[in-house]
Chains A and B, each alone.
Chain A
């Protein structure tokens, strides 16, 4: 099997990786690029959303994408959410609302929440539940995540 070279924008930086084509974006992020925010929780079935990253503005499961499929795309991982040394308002609001317990689903949930707010700045509870339906959490019972998203939507926290 021949390796392929794939170029894409990762967290705003031009990135090029050489990999066997039978590896997923999740494999490459974690094993080659050292970005371990995206997690494999369901065994690569696309059920849990812990591996969610943002691809061209949409949340996607990085475990279901072969590396060749990301040629020319823009990828944002949880590691790319900080700006100028500041955490993103969703990262702050998740902490403030207690929406983080074991933390395994958190990167995926925050990235999904970001795409939700980017497209719909003031979502209803129902829209948040719909939006997060692909991100399973076994700790929080989701209510605190909904609180966190409302908190961020209202402008976040004043530090």
Chain B
């Protein structure tokens, strides 16, 4: 096992100081980094363990916004009644990650910073236009999650910076939000394709707001503006599958890799968007009653 200098800050000020060490890397749940370090695939001069930083582990309703501490675990998100009310897609996504053992360790901030194209919480955060609060010794800045994700494993995070928290606004009116993923098996599998869909219906029952995000079909998890545009103002009915099919072909060009083929991903993306839309519409109608 490789060597590194180990730091364990307790306060956020100490965390900022530790991360200002050149080459320092943050350790959150460790579900990704620890196995990679054990296998010698990843090395760092300094590792900053956040297990003592309790102030970044919270789920808060701040009125106009919901704020999630970056060290909130997937299991905590999955078990949160508040999130179930505000963003059920995120709850379903968090529940679907790995197994209990990994959900109890893996964190929302870790899932974001890892920037896997197949990350499950990211579509559910993107459809709520989530914003990240990044901090460092230099100060802090806010950035939309969508702009933060640059490529597979690549983000806008600068040296010395860390994700402090994630925030998003609740939807109002007749809305619904759902997450669906497809993997090789239901437990532990990395998504072959995943999607989150949020929809709002107006009083005529037409789609007045729609947000769709897809994972595993592009270098990052993406918002699907073309598909959203194609569905806006339409009546949510089974015939929308045609519109989804057409817009999906324009929107995505997935690759063939170890987990699946491009052809399958194309087809799967359309099907899961349609299913997630149906589920979101169902919730929206329920709320509208």
Binding site for B on A (CB under 8 A): 1-2, 4, 20-24, 43-47, 49, 52, 55, 58-61, 63-66, 68-72, 112, 115, 130-131, 133-135
* Set of chain A residues within 8 Å of B256, measured between Cβ atoms: none
* Set of chain B residues within 8 Å of A58, measured between Cβ atoms: 75, 100, 104
Report yes or no: A24 in contact with B34, Cβ–Cβ below 8 A: yes
Report yes or no: A22 in contact with B99, Cβ–Cβ below 8 A: no
* Set of chain A residues within 8 Å of B35, measured between Cβ atoms: 44-46, 63-64
Distance of A58 Cα from B73 Cα, bound (Å): 12
Distance of A72 Cα from B31 Cα, bound (Å): 20
Interface core residue of A47, A65, A66 (most chain B CB under 10 Å):
A66
Report yes or no: A71 in contact with B8, Cβ–Cβ below 8 A: yes
Q: What are 5 A-B contacts defined by CB distance under 8 Å?
A: A45-B39, A46-B98, A58-B100, A69-B30, A133-B99
Smallest CB–CB gap between A142 and chain B, Å?
Answer: 11
Q: Is B49 an interface residue (CB 8 A)?
A: yes
Smallest CB–CB gap between A9 and chain B, Å?
Answer: 15
Smallest CB–CB gap between A89 and chain B, Å?
Answer: 21
Closest A residue to B187 using CB positions: A133
Give the residues from 95 to 141 in chain B that come closer than 8 angstroms, CB to CB, to chain A: 98-102, 104-105
Q: Is B2 an interface residue (CB 8 A)?
A: yes
Given contacts A46-B35, A134-B98, 12 further A-B contacts (CB under 8 A): A22-B6, A44-B34, A46-B101, A46-B102, A52-B101, A58-B75, A58-B104, A65-B105, A69-B27, A69-B49, A133-B99, A134-B99
Report yes or no: B100 in contact with A134, Cβ–Cβ below 8 A: yes
Smallest CB–CB gap between B73 and chain A, Å?
Answer: 9
Closest A residue to B1 using CB positions: A22
Distance of A71 Cα from B30 Cα, bound (Å): 15
Q: A44-B38, A71-B51 are in contact. Are A61 and B102 (CB under 8 A)?
A: yes
